[in-house]
Chain A
Amino acid sequence: MENLQSLLHGFTIAVTVPHLTLMVIGVLLGILVGVLPGLGAPNGVSLLLPLTFGMQPVSAIILLSSMYWGALFGGSVTSILFNIPGEPSSVATTFDGYPMARDGRPTTALATAFGSAAFGALVGVILITFLASWVAQVALAFGPPEYFAVYFLAFASFVGMGGAAPIKTVVALAIGFAIAAIGIDTVSGSVRLNMGIDELVKGVSFVVAVMGLFGIGELLIAVEEEFQARAVSSRVDWKEVFRALGRLPRHSIALLRSAAIGCWMGITPGGPTAASFMSYGIAKRFSRNGARFGSGEAEGIIAPETADHAAGTSALLPMLSLGIPGSATAAVMMGGLMIWGLNPGPMLFVDQKDFVWGLIASMYVGNIVAVALVLLTVPVFAALMRIPFAVIAPLIVIICVVGAYSVSNSYLDVVLMLGFGVVGYLFKKLHYPLAPLVLAIVIGDKAEDAFRQAMLMSKGSLGIFFANRLVTTLVLAGIALLLLPLVLQIVRLLRKPDEAAHEKVRII
């Protein structure tokens, strides 16, 4: 009941004219980056981040999270109308969404997608409402060893369940840690890893890194794959919208299952992309109409969309209550929190009640705003797709350059940003995962501090990580996840070689 009271209080913060305006702006910008290929939620949020430095934390997070919802919805629009996923997480929506739209039912496809997406988001927000403060309460009892164990678990689950080549994930993580260590060491005060460049003493801001990795890097990927937009009709028939929404409850099993998959993948750092693919695959296997998937089946839209949004939303739960983001976008937002002077983690629920509950309340409102706006603006944004990429690309470059500069008025940051752009391109191209890299840059310092404090407590003995049941369980779970790819590899080798080859094709 206390949660509901706090939530009501949150609504009084979120439902004010300035915050509703910010939500509308955020959602519209979000749909814009979601619709434009080569820009996605993480880029959009990082491009907007420098503009929020002077804002109130609540207003800033409402703006950024609304942008996130908008981007999630916008990505589905292009998937359905153009067969071009605006976001990696809406790739699975193209499988059935585009065939349905091509068959002359674009409104049905869009309404089904938005309806199930809203349901997924709702389940995610409800989960946050009831679980977040409880998780935070548990986490309040954590000491440095427990914290390090939780961080370790988060990193290990990227390796074990992230889906990329495990060693590439490990390298990406370790590079992130090293980048986080650049600059003044918070414990000893000595300067680390500045490689002879004096200006590096201030460290490398994660904003600079994400601007390059996601902004320039994805731009390079997008320019390489020349794309052509061939739209089906983007007219919205309002009666059909309500008919399609009315048909959703018939698929309640698919909705609930997909939402559950989404929430699970969001809290563990599987992320929205993995969630939508997994949900689509499972729906195809278990649905009565499984054989017709791929030819415009409603359940083929419901499954990935519900899971995508459930995962996107619930990724904020560990960010808020533990200080560990569940997705790349959440990692960027968490970096924002730290810049605004907040300390993500359980203390937020004690010190910053207004912030936390304002944000949670804004998720309910923001998603309603997003559904309404995305339906109203489908024709406008569909028309935007016809702006040539050649015009958009230099503008994105300029936004990244100015954004990187404005972090600390440093030209070095701009050069670094461009360097990160090349790294982002190479990593994306060779399937090194970017999310763990960003995660490590954002929370690398905290993980290291936790480790060193734990070592101080135990006078240098690693035994402290096995001192009580909680910490032992966390560490063992982490080690198990780290070893998971190795075990799978061995299992695969023991099976027939041709089966292994099939497996490989499937992974691609």
Chain B
Amino acid sequence: MISRRALEIATAALTGIFGVVVVVSSIDNGIGWSSAGVDAGTFPFLTGIIIVLGSLYNMGQGALGRGTLAMVRVAVTPSELRRLAGLFVPAAIFVAVIPIVGMYLASAGYVFAVLALPKQQSVFRAIAIAVATPLALYVVFERMFQVSLPRGALAAAFGF
């Protein structure tokens, strides 16, 4: 179970870290006024500062349990977390294997795994959807819009 407070603090920390990164890397570009006008780093530097300050405020509000959603104590229940992971983890694996096996194989495998393994659908229907998906991608992208999708290292090894 994830409490709302923890989620607020974590999100504010995330935005805050992004803000710090923005501030640090914009200092490299120079901030302030030079002969060519406003330096390239000035605008990002200011936005970075705003992000950091705003994140600190949001973190404080979250930690104190104030703000518009103060009544909601629990952000994610265990069963919700399981469903979230059930969607996100396979999607992340799908994205991770694209450089190896290519978009077509990866998408077919992903669809099959998501539909057949948790017994959401019958195996036959899962296979049908898993075959239809890359075919549809091929027709729409490669044929109609001439966007070539990655074929992956595996296909390259076989000389495609």
Contact = CB atoms under 8 A, between A and B. Distances in A.
Interface of A: 50-51, 53-54, 165, 167-168, 170-171, 174-175, 177-178, 181, 185, 187-188, 190, 192-195, 216, 219-220, 223-226, 388, 390-391, 393-395, 397-398, 401-402, 405-406, 409, 411, 414-415, 418, 421-423, 425-427, 429-432, 448, 451-452, 455-456, 460, 504-505, 507-508
A192 B58 contact: no
Tell me the dominant secondary structure on chain B's binding face: helix
Which 3 A-B pairs rank lowest in CB-CB distance, beginning with the nearest? A171-B54, A390-B120, A174-B50
Contact of A507 (B7, B68, B75): B68
Given A390-B118, A402-B141, 9 more contacts: A174-B19, A178-B48, A192-B44, A224-B80, A393-B114, A395-B111, A397-B91, A401-B95, A401-B107
Interface in B107-160: 107, 110-111, 114-115, 118, 120-121, 129, 133, 137, 140-141, 145-150
B83 A223 contact: yes
Q: How big is the B interface, by class? A: 35 or more
Interface in B68-88: 68-71, 75-76, 80, 83-84, 86-88
Nearest to A223: B87
Contacts of A409: 147-148
Interface of B: 7-8, 10-11, 14-15, 18-19, 21-22, 25-26, 29, 33, 36-41, 43-44, 47-48, 50-51, 54-55, 57-58, 61, 67-71, 75-76, 80, 83-84, 86-88, 90-92, 94-95, 98-99, 103, 107, 110-111, 114-115, 118, 120-121, 129, 133, 137, 140-141, 145-150
18 contacts: A50-B147, A54-B145, A54-B146, A174-B48, A177-B44, A181-B43, A185-B40, A195-B21, A220-B87, A390-B114, A390-B120, A397-B94, A401-B95, A402-B141, A409-B148, A429-B7, A452-B37, A452-B38
B84 A390 contact: no
B35 to A, nearest CB: 11
Contact of B58 (A53, A171, A388): A171
A168 B60 CA distance: 12
Given A168-B58, A426-B7, A177 B43 contact: yes
